[in-house]
Structure 1
Amino acid sequence: MRAFGNNTNARLPVLFLLDASSSMNGIVRGDHQQVLRQEYADGINWNIVTGDNLITRMDELNAGLQRFISDILADPLAKLAVDVAVMTFAQTVATVKEFGPIRESDAGLKISTSQENETLLGKAVELALAELDSRKRTYRKHGVEYYQPWLVVMTDGVPTSARHRELEGRLKVLTADRKLSVFVFGIGRADLSELSCISPGRPPMQINDQMFPELFAWLSRSARMVSMSMPGDGV
């Protein structure tokens, strides 16, 4: 309540729903890699390797997330408007950052890879939609205007249940009614045809897993553009 009283700016709720399954330990670069064995996870066979200076997808994802946070902190208007939550998913869903403004203390925010091998995408999206609905109710309760919410989904796995397909109709209605913008990014060998079920009106995009900082910089620029508009404007 104090935060809403001290800052009357319209809010842009952005919920990052990020894959934290074990496949996010995939190596994107490094030296002297040696294959130790193979393991099956997230519907894909993986080489387990050892080596020096190994950088994983999760390392790159964290670098991108920190880039987004620093960009928002550097923009006085976006710092007041952009309201961020971060959730991760594998077999279970966890909240890493509850909805709220970006603060200086978030500069070191990092997510960790789960040891779970499943990617229950549908369950995660359902919980994310419930979280966005709750946040909108909070805005209305306190008389705070808000922009069309964003749901940003990033995953590198093959969904290990079909539950996400059941959400296609609901997501189509929300986006058609301009109640939600969904951005879906497939990392590495992610199955874009499966991800299209949760990405109505905008095809899922393939990510080069070494380009996370550039992707998050684009997201932060887009968020800053929205924060300079009036709620309801097309941006």
Structure 2
Amino acid sequence: MFPTPQPDEAPLPVPYMGFEFDSAQRLPLLLCLDTSSSLSQHGAIDALNSALTSWATSLVDDMALSAAVDVAVITFGGSDGITVWQGCTPLGTTAPEWPHSPFVPAHEFRPPVLRANGVTLLDRALRLAMEVVADYKAGLRAEGLTYYRPQICVVTDGYPSDIRGNFSYAYRELLPDLRKAEEEQRFRLFAVGVGERHTGAEGVLQELAPHYNAWLDGFPFAELLTAMSHSAKATQGGAAEAEFQEIFARLKRRRGGGQVPA
């Protein structure tokens, strides 16, 4: 999936090289973020960058999360359509395979500075996210390491599109795999819309994540990332499904605030 570095290129860092695991179960958390051109309005991309920076600090400050959570970022938008990030380092449009990975320990996570442009290739980004999580789980198992149920959080503020920017139903090709993954508890998927709601857009999120979907007015990225931290803690604590539903319900209840400016 990722080219082998040439002799004159610096090799990609290997997750946890020189890092003491302390036998902690790993908790993979992948953010799949819309950075298409629509995020350039109303200060949305600045709000996202600010929220990511604050969230990264909060992960370091939280001993439980810092010890267990691994973070990866995939963005959809920009000139390449998809960008995989290892912390603040862009890896390109594909992800490296184990032992290299986009995932980094939470205490080492430095978020990228994102820019808004391009179209919304939601289907491609989500498929890649599923592949990245599957590869990482397999790598952890190969190393004899255990892990909690991973979280994938998809955040978008527009319709899924094709490469020309036209609305696309290509995401529906993923639905059988998503339903099977849900049944087998391979990961927990959150699908969240932000900004001005458009007719039919909420339906896309409902199809992707029937149990955890919401459209939030404005761009409350800080609250959203805090909810992901709460969900991670609930996962560590072996919470029942009802607790995750309550975490998401609280997030949905704040949908009336943070309205998009007129």
TMscore range, shorter length: 0.7 to 0.9
Contact 2:56-2:109 within 8 A present in 1 as well: no
**Letter of the 2:121 counterpart:** L
Q: Does 1:141 align with 2:151?
A: no
> What is the distance in 1 between the residues matched to 2:40 and 2:15?
40
Contact 1:60-1:209 within 8 A present in 2 as well: no
Corresponding residue of 1:198: 208
> What is the distance in 2 between the residues matched to 1:130 and 1:153?
14
CA deviations 1:2-49 (Å, max 9, x no partner) are 82772020011011000010100111xxxxxxxxxxxxxxxxxxxxxx
Q: Alignment partner of 1:103: what SS? A: helix
Contact 1:20-1:88 within 8 A present in 2 as well: yes
Q: Alignment partner of 1:17: what SS? A: strand
> What is the distance in 2 between the residues matched to 1:213 and 1:114?
18
Q: Alignment partner of 1:3: what SS? A: coil
Q: Does 1:166 align with 2:180?
A: no
TM-superposed CA distance for 1:70, in Å, is: 1.6
Corresponding residue of 1:95: 84
TM-superposed CA distance for 1:233, in Å, is: 7.0
Q: Among residues 208, 212, 215, which one is paired with 2:217 in the alignment? A: 208
Distance 1:122 1:101, change over 3 A: same
Q: How many corresponding residue pairs?
A: 201
Q: Among residues 10, 16, 33, which one is paired with 1:3 in the alignment? A: 16
Q: Output aligned runs, 1:1-235, within 5 Å.
A: 3=16, 6-7=20-21, 8-27=23-42, 56-90=43-77, 92-97=81-86, 98-103=102-107, 106=110, 109-116=111-118, 118-160=119-161, 161-188=168-195, 189=197, 191-202=201-212, 204-227=213-236, 229=237
Contact 2:26-2:70 within 8 A present in 1 as well: yes
Gaps of 5+ in 2: 1-13, 87-101, 162-167, 244-262
Contact 1:167-1:197 within 8 A present in 2 as well: no
CA deviations 1:85-139 (Å, max 9, x no partner) are 0110026110122201023561xx23322431x2111111111111011100111
CA deviations 1:47-85 (Å, max 9, x no partner) are xxxxxxxxx111111222223212211111211100110
191-200 or 74-83: bigger deviation? 191-200
159-168 or 216-225: bigger deviation? 216-225
214-223 or 156-165: bigger deviation? 214-223
**Letter of the 1:103 counterpart:** H
Distance 1:105 1:178, change over 3 A: closer
Task: List structure 1 segments (4+ residues) > 6 angstroms apart after TM superposition.
Answer: none
TM-score by length of 1: 0.78
TM-score by length of 2: 0.70
> What is the distance in 2 between the residues matched to 1:192 and 1:224?
27
Contact 1:175-1:200 within 8 A present in 2 as well: no
Distance 1:138 1:60, change over 3 A: same
> What is the distance in 2 between the residues matched to 1:212 and 1:105?
17
Q: Please give the root-mean-square deviation of Cα atoms over the aligned residues, in Å.
A: 2.2
Question: Share of identical aligned residues, percent?
Answer: 29
Gaps of 5+ in 1: 28-55
Q: Which protein, 1 or 2, shows the higher relative CO under an 8 Å CA cutoff with sep ≥ 6? A: 1
> Between Structure 1 and Structure 2, which shows a larger proportion of strand residues?
1
